[in-house]
Amino acid sequence: MAEAITKPALERHGLDEEQLRWMLRNMLLQRTLDNRGFQLNRQGKIPFATGSEGHEGIHAGSALAFARGRDVLVPYYRDIGLCIGIGMEPLQVLLAMFARAADISGGRQFPNHFTGRAIGLMSISSIIAAHLPHAVGAAYAMKLRGESGRAVLASFGDGATSEGEWHESMNFAAVHALPIVFLCENNEWAISTPRDRQMKVRDVVEKADGYGMRGEIVDGSDPIAVYGVMNGALERARSGGGPTLVEAKCYRFLSHTTDDDDRTYRTREEIERHRHLDPVPRFERVLVEAGVITSDDVSAMKREILAHVNDVTDRAEALPYPLASDLYTNVYEGTHEPWL
């Protein structure tokens, strides 16, 4: 970041100013939603929250590369910004936190386990890596039907790469040259387990070769770089060029969730050492310095976002829980008695 920041540098991947501001807004919105979750939890209003703090650049850049109405996203539970970025309403984030009936899962899922068939957002469980074969299957369907111009974006953490199902998914996608991008958000930690207890290699991307898959690594705190890599990978997938494993480096600044206390396993100093990677202030500064946005406009944007988040918080909170009888629906199509 020593060199002077110029608009042409920012626009190197064909991004225009509006798109750059869109990414900033997405990132600020994530940060605000994160804060809201932890705040509501402290207030005792919701039992649980988790946040994307540190991952915002990955989400903004990837979401922008996602082709709405065509691509399919199979997200990770940390991907608030990515889900919003492809078109999910922020209200959904709050509805999930409050477990309201109007939540798309009807108050069934943990927060951050979004779904939205209408926007190409595939439902996931909490079981790490179990969603990846589904992403591969969706990509297979696209290829089988000859739907070029479509691709699947599947995301996961560094921790997920240890699971057998991650391996099987990578391998299947490579063998069949499927239209899919595997996005690893490597934040150095799986709860309390540091990278070097998870894997012997330094970079997750080193695993791509063993599958005969293309691999790319990108600085996840730079949404423009992320966009560039993700857009390239998705375009390649959409046009028959096969899968890519993208590793986006980042750092998890918060505890794993509100149930976790990261003081038990990492020092405050370590966190501070990584603070310069925080993508939100960094990207804000970059855009301001390059003249893409003024400080005043950033402030206005933040006010607008906060107002919006306040509004959806109030609206979500005011809505009702599901009914007890809702427990029994959607087990199967129609009735669900095991004894007929």
Partner 1 sequence: MAVASPSTVMNNVEAVRHTLYEALKNDERTLVLGEDVGARGNVFLITKGFIEEFGAERVIDTPLAEASIVGVAIGMAMEGLRPIAEIQFADFIYPAFNQIVGEAAKTRYRSNGDYTCPLVIRTPYGGGVRGALSHSVSIEALFYHVPGLKIVAPSFPADIKGLLNAAIDDPDPVLFLEHKKTYRLVKGEVPSEHYTIPIGLADVKHPGDALTVVSYGLYVHQAIEAAQRLAGEGLSVEVIDLRSIRPMDRTTILASVRKTHKLLIVHEDNKFGGIGAEIAAMVAEEAFFELDAPIRRLCGPDVPAMGYALPLEEEFMVSTDEMADAMRELVRY
198 binds partner 1 (CB under 8 A): yes
| Residue 240 touches its own copies, criterion: CB under 8 A | no
One symbol per residue from 76 to 115: x for binding partner 1 (CB under 8 A), - otherwise; what is it? -----------------------xxx--xxxxxxxx-x-x
Minimal distance, residue 167 CB to partner 1, in Å: 8
Structure tokens at 288: 């301001």
* Residue of 5, 67, 177, 191 interacting with partner 1 (CB under 8 A): 191
Over the window 161 to 180, marking each residue x when it contacts its own copies by CB under 8 A and - when it does not, the resulting string is -xxxxxxx--x--xx-x---
**Closer to partner 1 at the Cβ: 9 or 323?**
323
For partner 1, give the closer residue by CB, 141 or 301: 141
Residue 322 contacts partner 1 per CB under 8 A: yes
Give strand ranges (E) for 82-178.
Answer: 152-157
Asked if 123 and 62 touch (Cβ cutoff 8 Å), the reply is no
Residue 250's binding partner among ligand TPP, partner 1, Mg ion, none (Cβ under 5 to 8 angstroms by kind) is: none
Is 170 exposed, middle or buried, given 0-12, 13-18 or 19+ CB atoms closer than 10 A?
A: buried
Nearest approach, Cβ of 233 to its own copies (angstroms)?
17
Token pair for 90: 């922020």
- Provide the edge-to-edge strand list for the sheet that holds 72-74: 72-74, 152-157, 180-186, 244-249, 214-219
**Interaction of residue 196 with its own copies, rule CB under 8 A:** yes
Is 193 a binding residue for partner 1 by CB under 8 A? The answer is: yes
Q: Which of residues 143-162 bind Mg ion (CB under 5 A)?
A: 157-159
Rule CB under 5 A: say whether 187 interacts with Mg ion.
yes
Interface with its own copies includes 192 (CB under 8 A)? Answer: no
> Rounded to the nearest 5 degrees, what angle is found at the Cα of 19, between the Cα atoms of 14 and 21?
135
What does R_g of the chain's alpha carbons equal in angstroms? Answer: 20
Residue selected from 33, 128, 183, 287 as contacting ligand TPP according to rule CB under 6 A: 128
Q: What type of residue sits at position 171? A: N
Q: Are strands 214-219 and 193-194 parallel, antiparallel or unpaired?
A: unpaired
179 binds, among ligand TPP, Mg ion, partner 1, none (CB under 5 to 8 A by kind): none
Is 66 or 166 the residue whose CB approaches its own copies more closely?
A: 166
Report the C-alpha gap between 230 and 232 in whole angstroms: 5
Closest CA to 72 of 143, 22, 139, 171: 139
Task: Give residues with Cβ within 8 angstroms of 5, minimum separation 6.
Answer: 286, 289, 290
Q: What is the DSSP string of 148-168?
A: TT--EEEEEETGGGGSHHHHH
* Residue nearer to its own copies on the CB measure, 164 or 334: 164
| DSSP state, residue 233 | H
Question: What is the binding site for its own copies (CB under 8 A)?
Answer: 162-168, 171, 174-175, 177, 196-201, 206-213
* Site residues (vs ligand TPP, CB under 6 A): 78, 126-128, 156-160, 185, 187, 189-191, 252, 256
